Amino acid sequence: MRTAWLLLLLAQKFYLDDPIQEDRDRLRIGPPVAVELSSTYDMLSNTFAPPELERPVPRAMNVNTLGEVPDSSWFTNRIGKTEMTLTQLANGPETTGPPDTSRTLSVIRAKQGGITPGFTIRDARGRIYYLKFDPAAHPSLSTGADIISKNFFHAIGYNVPEAFIIYVREEHFVIDPKAVVNLPGGEEVPMDRAYLEFMLSEAARVPDGNVRAVASLQIPGDTLGPFKFYGTRADDANDIFPHEHRRELRGYRVFCAWLNHDDSRSINTLDTYVEGHVRHYLIDFGSTLGSGSDMFRDIAPQDPRAGNEYIIDLKQALRVAYSFGLIDRPWRKVKYPYPTFAEAGRIEAEFFDPPRWRPEYPNPAFDRMLTDDALWAATIVARFSDDAIRAIVRTGDFLSSEAETYLADTVIRRRDKITRYYFSQTNPLTRFRSSSNRLDFDYLGESAAASFEYEWFSFDNDTEELTPMAERGATPAPTLSVPDGSSAFVMVRVRTRSEGAPNGMKAVDVYLRSSATGYEVVGIEREL
């Protein structure tokens, strides 16, 4: 009890280490057990019995006082905070390099799960890669999407596996004597050359006869299975923020909408145990952008439903039912330039509407995304310049430059829609920075800001009491003078007056702390 009182007395809004830049979620723990996930159960439970939505939805819990996501085992700030060169963007997470195809590749396992055909190989240097191919009917479709999206999600800040596009022939492979194939029903049979040749015969080839594949490097550490978008992992002491309240998982919705990652569900995530703690990955981007699967789970250009409606959308179904089918899905009328740009698959930017975008089935973290979560994500999306997007799309290594251009243009247009929409939902003031007695910030709204209305307060960090100061007014430029005074903390409330952007009047409270070199921004709070 005495400790509790002491803590209460010591309670402050801002601590000396705020804003924290790193969540040190690397407390050493014993190896957790690997858990499996049923994708069917995940779909049914999230569709028919989703976790009850809190009213009001609480704010994201793992953010620092600036509303940023600190670096952690889940997320590393990259393009959101630093400038990345086009080379860095195109390289993605790669440090190890592709498999050594100058020597034979040993096939050690058949691939299980997912929609793409493939198998596991070990190269001459002992590194293990998962190989996935495009079906013969759809060259470059899923391998291109896989590599491109992997590089986008890496630049955004997520952990993704290293992956490469490689070109191979039958003679590159030998079958490991211990390699097996799992038959339906669980029976294992030794893998033979016929199986290998069958898999390769089903794969798309480039004009020189080589088979094109994505080689994903085995993620380091022990595989623990997927993470869920709700709750925490009971045996991971570092996992203390319910996943649905993690900003990078809520904001993941914005990125997935942008890149049409409708397959953004638990089965495409992976936890690994490495160096005494759990690390969290996104995996398998084969069903993103214009690549997807058909009704038989074979790789195909994205189903027009994907990204527009849940697999089971009861509300929509009932509308169709009682209207005798006359109420049709508007997305059925969308015209895709497919197969003109076949390698890009089925993706477009005209009909795309960010808030209406849907994954395959409800995602508890997505459903809890608030405007501040979305603003965080959209701000990162906005950091991808046209050149950056083109550089990443180029990593898809399409045969057709027209398809590459179309895809890049589409991603650029989707980016613009994302930022336009989410910046209009709140007061889009970002990148607050102080120097000497000046506070600068960026205004990201599309409508021209007529003025920024501000109101200064002194702030007591212990009692959280605000006392109005004399300085208030409006300025046309995103620059404010910090008032002179002896307060250790001051706060300025800023609203943006702009025609056609009513949400700009939502308050953004910026807290500054006095330091030896002047004031520093220590906290940002946004009105929802």
Partner 1 sequence: MLRRMREEKKRTAVTPRPNRIEEQMIRFDKGENPTIADWNLKGFYPRVAWPARGSGAAVGLRYWQPDFWGPLDMGGAAFYSLRSYQHYDLQFGLLPHVERKIPSRSWKGDDVYELASLEPGSSRIPLYVTLRHRYLPQNDFYGLGPDSSLDERTNFLHEEKRLYFRTGYQFSDHVVWIVNGGWQWNRIDSGKSSRLPSTEEVFDDESAPGLSSPPDYFRAGTQFLIDYRDQPANPHHGFMAALAYQRFDDRESDAYSFDRVGADLRGFIPLGSPQRVLALRSRIHVDNTNAANEVPFFMQESLGGSHNLRGFDSFRWRGERVLLYQAEYRWEPLPLWELSVFADAGKVAARGGDIGLSALQTDWGFGTRFKTYRDVVLRMEIAFGRETTRYYIRGSASF
Find the shortest distance in angstroms from Cβ 322 to partner 1: 9
- Report the residue from 71, 123, 134, 236 that binds partner 1 according to the rule CB under 8 A: 236
118 vs 428, beta carbon nearer partner 1 = 118
41 vs 198, beta carbon nearer partner 1 = 41
- The stretch near partner 1 (CB under 8 A) out of 29-37, 208-216, 248-256, 356-364 is 29-37
Find the shortest distance in angstroms from Cβ 35 to partner 1: 5
Residue 37 in the binding site for partner 1 (CB under 8 A)? yes
DSSP letter at 361?
S
62 vs 496, beta carbon nearer partner 1 = 62
249 vs 375, beta carbon nearer partner 1 = 249
Find the shortest distance in angstroms from Cβ 251 to partner 1: 20
27 vs 474, beta carbon nearer partner 1 = 27
Residue 29 in the binding site for partner 1 (CB under 8 A)? yes
Q: Binding pattern to partner 1, positions 65-104, x when CB under 8 A?
A: ----------------------------------------
Report the SS3 class of residue 518.
strand
Q: Binding pattern to partner 1, positions 314-353, x when CB under 8 A?
A: --xxxxxx--xxx-xx--x---------------------
- Please list every residue from 216 through 235 that binds partner 1, using CB under 8 A: 233-235
Residue 362 burial by Cβ neighbours in a 10 Å radius (0-12, 13-18, 19+): buried
Residue 463 burial by Cβ neighbours in a 10 Å radius (0-12, 13-18, 19+): exposed
5 vs 296, beta carbon nearer partner 1 = 296
CB-CB neighbours of 485 under 10 Å = 13
Residue 488 in the binding site for partner 1 (CB under 8 A)? no
C-beta separation of 471 from 426 below 8 A: no
Find the shortest distance in angstroms from Cβ 325 to partner 1: 3
- Please list every residue from 190 through 209 that binds partner 1, using CB under 8 A: none
- The stretch near partner 1 (CB under 8 A) out of 237-245, 284-292, 416-424, 464-472 is 237-245
CB proximity list for 126: less than 8 A, separation 6 or greater: none
34 vs 507, beta carbon nearer partner 1 = 34
Residue 21 in the binding site for partner 1 (CB under 8 A)? no
Find the shortest distance in angstroms from Cβ 45 to partner 1: 8
Residue 66 burial by Cβ neighbours in a 10 Å radius (0-12, 13-18, 19+): buried
40 vs 436, beta carbon nearer partner 1 = 40
- The stretch near partner 1 (CB under 8 A) out of 36-44, 160-168, 205-213, 418-426 is 36-44
Respond yes or no on whether the N-terminal peptide bond of residue 339 is cis (omega within 30° of 0): yes
Q: Binding pattern to partner 1, positions 173-192, x when CB under 8 A?
A: ---------xxxxx------
Residue 296 in the binding site for partner 1 (CB under 8 A)? yes
C-beta separation of 70 from 62 below 8 A: yes
C-beta separation of 368 from 53 below 8 A: yes
- Please list every residue from 41 through 70 that binds partner 1, using CB under 8 A: 41
How far are the Cα atoms of 448, 497, 505, 524, 528 from residue 501, in angstroms, in the given order?
A: 9, 8, 8, 21, 14
Give CA–CA dist 142/345, Å, rounded. Answer: 9
In degrees and rounded to multiples of 5, residue 194 shows phi and psi of -60, -40
- Report the residue from 53, 240, 474, 507 that binds partner 1 according to the rule CB under 8 A: 240
Q: Which helix (H) or strand (E) holds 266?
A: none
234 vs 516, beta carbon nearer partner 1 = 234
Residue 463 in the binding site for partner 1 (CB under 8 A)? no
- Please list every residue from 100 through 129 that binds partner 1, using CB under 8 A: 112
State the SS3 of 308-349.
Answer: CCCCCCHHHHHHHHHCCCCCCCHHHHCCCCCCCCHHHCCCCC
How far are the Cα atoms of 434, 489, 514, 521 from residue 518, in angstroms, in the given order?
A: 8, 11, 6, 10
240 vs 505, beta carbon nearer partner 1 = 240
Give CA–CA dist 502/181, Å, rounded. Answer: 60
Give CA–CA dist 68/376, Å, rounded. Answer: 7
C-beta separation of 230 from 243 below 8 A: yes
Where does 316-450 show beta strands of DSSP type E?
Answer: 429-435, 438-443
Q: What angle do CA 99, 145, 363 make, to 5 degrees?
A: 115
| CA–centroid distance for 61 within its chain | 18
Count interface residues toward partner 1 (CB under 8 A). 44
- The stretch near partner 1 (CB under 8 A) out of 31-39, 146-154, 159-167, 369-377 is 31-39
124 vs 317, beta carbon nearer partner 1 = 317
| CA–centroid distance for 20 within its chain | 22
Where on the chain is the footprint of partner 1 (CB under 8 A)? 23-25, 27, 29, 32-33, 35-41, 112, 182-186, 233-240, 295-296, 312-313, 316-321, 324-326, 328-329, 332
